[in-house]
Amino acid sequence: MKEVKRELLIRVYIVALAMVGVACMLFYKAAKISIVEGDHWRDMGDSLYLKYVPIVADRGDILAADGSLMTTSLPFFDLHVDFRAEGLREDIFKANVDSLAYYLTRYVNTSVSKTQMRDWLIQKRRNGDRYALLAKGVSIRDLEQIKTFPIFRLGKNKGGLIIDRQHVRVKPYKLLASRTLGLDRENAQQIGLERTFDGYLKGEEGQRLMQRVTGGTWIPVSNLADLEGQRGADVVTTIDPEIQDIAEYALLAGLENSRATMGTAIVMEVETGAIVAIANLGGKGGAGYDEDYNYAVGFSSEPGSTFKLASAMALLEDEGADTNTVVDLGGGSGRFFDRTMKDSKPHDIYASDLAEAFELSSNVGIARLVQEYYGRDGRAGQFVKRIHEMHLHEPTGIELDGEGAPMIKDPSKKEDRWSGTTLPWMSTGYECRMTPLQILRFYNAVANDGKMMKPYIVSEITREGRTIKRFRPEVVDSRIASSTTIKKAQALLLGVVEKGTAKEYKPDHYMFSGKTGTARTDYYDPNSPRKQYMASFAGYFPSEKPKYSCIVMVYDPVVGGFYGSTSALPIFRKIADRCMGINRELLAEAELPDTVAYRDGMRMAGWSNKDELDELVDELSLDTEVEGQGDWARLTGGKEIGMEVKNVLEKNMIPELYGMGIRDAIYLLENRGIHVSYHGVGRVKSQSVQSGQPIIKGSSIHLTLG
């Protein structure tokens, strides 16, 4: 019996000890969870109801060289209402719901009646809706008004108004340089400067504390002021809005005249390589033209006759020919191995020289000189070496993604498929590929006495007015050829305008230099329904002291001729004329009278199209005359005109804006408190408020460009 009792006691003690051990373990675990791991588990519990979400910071601006906005972000707001906000008492709601419904139907949602809006508010209140959508895409001006409405004026805690900030990217200049500036929006791939400099523009994200409420909806806890991240930095470009406007307008008019498929125009500052204008226009199936692709940077093609400058310079460098070296042009036709090469049109010229062959853009003449010197004794590699020394095989490295890769064949590379006809055809701009910008960099170097500059389009990155990164002009090569060769190349380019393929567009008041180009783009396709061409002109102005270089390319012109001299050159001439007109210092040596119409001490109208100036004089009833023809006409009459135009502004009246650049028009009107909207591209064609009307601050005017 004693042994049974003792055995039972042992079992009881064992069970008791086990229970004490379990209790101690539970106590230890509870203490550990509560004290040691408490913060961790409390955070996990809170995360079921609270979380932080990223808030996209305001994106930085893209600015023109003069500081004007090219791309900016405009804020807009989505509005919700928390009908169970802690401070929104029932008595406050009932006392103000009628007046709130009145204001909402008058200023926010005019499609419903006051009764319908009141019933909606009451129903949402009754349901305890904590995130009811009130309005989307509200402007900051409208938001400030809505915040003064009954109930909402009590603030977020008592009024329940929840403000979700968004932003939309806009371009005040609309089409101008649109593709180069780029795109930044949801569900679309970034392009242009928006993509290249995204790391600077996007800024640093903020954070917003969100609370989960009934139904799984998340609503913000913190105030809007607590949510801001750091705004993105601003990108300052080298683009001159006025020259960009000139290039866009001239290119658009030229493409419309020739009914071309697409085109591009680039204007570059010779000394620095800064791009001051870059226009790209493509057809939209008969619906006009748009900046649909950056042809200037991304479209690589056979350059045609603009490449002949490189061929001529290679010959001059290697002393394979001089400008007076005799060559047979064959009347416009020549045989190379098993193929016949032709000039753009038959002619009766046989005995000639390098200078004349270049001026007339003779394929046969240039190809024969190149073939005679480089086509024997294994010298083809030397020709390619000279092309490489001019950096024509290298991309420019512009600050834009998607630059087309140049292609220069090399006889030492099996994959390049060098044949007996490659050398003569390459010398005239075939069997090689380059982008318009790569060609322009080369011509710019010739204008710059042989110094090749890297093209660039961004000058600095700034934040709150402080420069955080600066981009300076960069020399690619201090001399791409000898000074003797450069001087002769400059003389060849001048000869093209003075007596060659560009002589029909030789200016009267200054000189430009350059080379026409015409390339057939479908010569490899014998089944093509019609021949397709690419017309181009590359050059610089003024010839004596070049300020700007410029290239114009027109793809597949079908009206008025397909040659560079008929499709691209007129556009180049118009760009050069108007750039010279707005840079009066470039005309100092010509001793031309100053522009005579002013507004606030700035030019209002000067050297421009004669028809435009005639209409300006008629509209303002000015006692003056228009002197000149075409795109090179001017007002005469001196100070009297300046006084008459100035008097219109002093009398606080709307001025005549016809023919004015959009930047000038916006500056003129917005400085006087007038809101400006516009559509189209080019210069002001018409205005919704006629000249002579009194200026009323806060009023609006719409301008049509064309």
CB neighbour burial string for 41-76, b if at least 16 within 10 angstroms, e if fewer: eeeeeeeeeeeeeebebbbbbbbbbeeeebbbbeeb
Q: Which of 195, 221, 237 is the last residue of a domain?
A: 237
Average pLDDT over residues 96-104: 93
For residues 449-465, one letter each, b for 16 or more C-beta atoms within 10 angstroms of the residue's C-beta and e for the rest, the string is ebbbbbbbbbbbbbbee
What is the reported pLDDT for 372? 96
Which H helix or E strand runs over 636?
A: strand 632-636
Q: Alpha helices, DSSP H only, in 393-537?
A: 422-427, 436-447, 483-499
- Model confidence pLDDT, tens digit, residues 672-692: 778 888 877 667 777 777 666
Say which residue the tokens 């009766």 belong to. 348
Number of helical (H) and strand (E) elements in the chain, helices listed first: 22, 31
Q: Does any domain span residue 373?
A: yes
pLDDT, residue 187, reads: 52
Q: Above 90 in pLDDT, residue 360?
A: yes
Check residues 569 and 175 and name the one with the higher pLDDT: 569
| Domain-located, residue 674 | yes
Mark whether 578 and 600 lie in a shared domain: no
d(CA 391, CA 478): 12
Do 416 and 318 lie in one domain? The reply is yes
In this structure, what DSSP letter does residue 699 have? -
The domain that holds 600 is classified in CATH as 3.30.10.20
In a shared domain, residues 526 and 380: yes
Co-location of 77 and 149 in the same domain: yes
H, E, C per residue of 592-625: CCCCCEEECCEEEECCECHHHHHHHHHHHCCCCE
CATH number at residue 476: 3.40.710.10
- Give which of 447, 537, 532 is closest to 266, Cα–Cα: 537
Where do we find the tokens 């606030």?
A: 600
Mean pLDDT of the chain: 83
Where in the sequence is the domain holding 673, given as residue range(s)? 596-705
3-class state of residue 344 by DSSP:
coil
* Cα gap 423→440, rounded to integer Å: 23
The number of domains in the chain is 3
Same domain, 212 and 141: yes
Six-digit token pair at 37? 């791991």
pLDDT at 489: 98
CA angle, 25 as apex, 19 and 31 as ends, to 5°? Answer: 135
Read off the pLDDT of each residue in 288-311 and give the average, rounded to a whole number.
Answer: 93
Stretch 128-151: mean pLDDT: 89
The radius of gyration of the chain's CA atoms, rounded to the nearest angstrom, is: 36
Dihedral over Cα of 379, 380, 386, 388: its sign: negative
Min mean pLDDT across 263-277, 359-373, 499-513, 591-605 is at: 591-605
> What mean pLDDT comes out for the span 439-458?
98
- Tell me, yes or no, whether 579 and 690 share the same domain: no
Domain boundary among 205, 237, 269: 237
102: domain CATH number?
A: 3.90.1310.10
- Same domain for 115 and 230? yes
> How far apart (Å, rounded) are the C-alpha atoms in residues 386 and 313?
9
Alpha-carbon gap, residue 70 to 237, rounded angstroms = 9
Q: pLDDT > 70: what percent of the chain?
A: 80
For residue 54, cis peptide bond before it (omega within 30 degrees of 0): no
Q: Is residue 42 part of a domain?
A: no
Inside any domain, residue 40: no
pLDDT band at 85 (very low <50, low <70, confident <90, very high): confident
Do residues 574 and 428 share a domain?
A: yes
Residue 531 lies in a domain: yes
| Tokens at 68, concatenated | 């004007």
- What residue spans of 32-149 are helical by DSSP H? 38-47, 90-107, 114-127, 140-146
> Would 32 be classed as within a structural domain?
no
Confidence of residue 287 (pLDDT cuts 50, 70, 90): low
* Same domain (yes/no): 123, 232: yes
Q: CA-to-CA distance for 434 and 307, rounded, in angstroms?
A: 10
CA trace torsion 155, 156, 159, 162 (10° rounding): 130
CB burial of 315-326 (b: ≥16 within 10 Å; e: otherwise) equals bbbbebbebebe
Verify that 560 and 619 share a domain, yes or no.
no
> What pLDDT is recorded for position 504?
94
Q: What is the DSSP letter of 208?
A: E
Q: Is 104 domain-assigned?
A: yes
Q: Are residues 68 and 195 in the same domain?
A: yes
Gap between the Cα atoms of 652 and 174, Å rounded: 29
666 found inside a domain: yes
The three-state secondary structure class of 219 is strand
- Looking at the predicted structure, is the pLDDT value of residue 392 above 60? yes
Residue where one domain finishes, among candidates 237, 267, 295: 237
Output DSSP code: residue 561. Answer: -
Q: What is the mean pLDDT of residues 85-94?
A: 87
> pLDDT tens, 542-589?
999 999 999 999 999 988 888 999 999 999 999 998 888 777 677 554
Give the pLDDT score at 659. 67
> Does 522 lie in the same domain as 633?
no
Helix axes 380-389, 308-317, angle to 10 degrees: 110
